[in-house]
Amino acid sequence: MMRKMFFSVLFAVSLFGVDGYSVYKNHCQKCHIEMISKKETLKIFKTLQAPPMVEVANRIRENITITDDDDDVKRFVMIAFIKEYTKKPAVDYSMCHAMAIERFGVMPAQTQLSEEERQAVAEWIVDRYEESAF
Ligand code: HEC
């Protein structure tokens, strides 16, 4: 119980005090809109450079299944995937719809990020959209 609380508090501000939302705003927002409905997305689709982040998060959440239904494990795996993807995006393991890849191409690697920033933004994505459907 104590241990769990300790880790939650630690991870809430992220290990080295890097704020995931700031990383998103500085490095991701120019391509990934933070929040938008499916309906609005279709309207402005032509102007987009990438799938909205709410969609990205939902796709990943839908695609990754942990058979014993453990939420902490699922969160960990989602974060690991996002971190790895920002480092080395590849069509082979993109979870985006084929149509999105065709339209936008594969994401450019975000090599400018430090390990701490990568962790913080990945955590932010997973937690930000926990309750947000697309
Ligand atoms: C120059 C535009 C651009 C920037 C900047 C950008 N992305 Fe992307 N991203 C894309 C495109 C295009 C896709 C969809 C194609 C793909 O999956 O590679 C994508 C897809 C993704 C995916 C989905 C991968 C999957 O398989 O479902 C994640 C996660 C992601 N981006 C995270 C980030 C994060 C985090 C940042 C900021 C650190 C970021 N992106 C910055 C263009 C961008």
- Mean of pLDDT values over 16-31: 94
Residue 22's Cα: distance from chain center in Å? 14
pLDDT higher than threshold 70 for residue 3: no
- For residue 13, the model assigns a pLDDT of 54
- For residue 34, the model assigns a pLDDT of 98
User: Given the CA of residue 24, which atom of ligand 1 is nearest to it?
Assistant: 37
24-31, long-range: CB within 8 Å, 24+ apart, which pairs? Answer: 24/53, 24/121, 24/124, 24/125, 27/110, 27/112, 27/113, 27/117, 27/121, 28/53, 28/110, 28/121, 31/107
72: exposed, middle or buried (Cβ count in 10 Å: 0-12, 13-18, 19+): exposed
Indicate which residue's Cα is closest to atom 42 of ligand 1.
107
Global pTM? 0.90
- Mean of pLDDT values over 48-59: 97
Please report which confidence band the pLDDT of residue 97 belongs to, taking 50, 70 and 90 as the band edges. confident
Write out residues with Cβ below 6 Å of ligand 1: 27-28, 30-32, 49-51, 56, 59-60, 82, 85-86, 89, 94-96, 100-101, 104-108, 110, 113, 121
Indicate which residue's Cα is closest to atom 31 of ligand 1.
107
- Mean of pLDDT values over 101-127: 97
Pocket test for ligand 1, best of 29, 32, 82 (most atoms within 8 A of CB): 32
- Mean of pLDDT values over 106-121: 97
pLDDT higher than threshold 80 for residue 112: yes
Q: What is the mean pLDDT of the chain?
A: 91
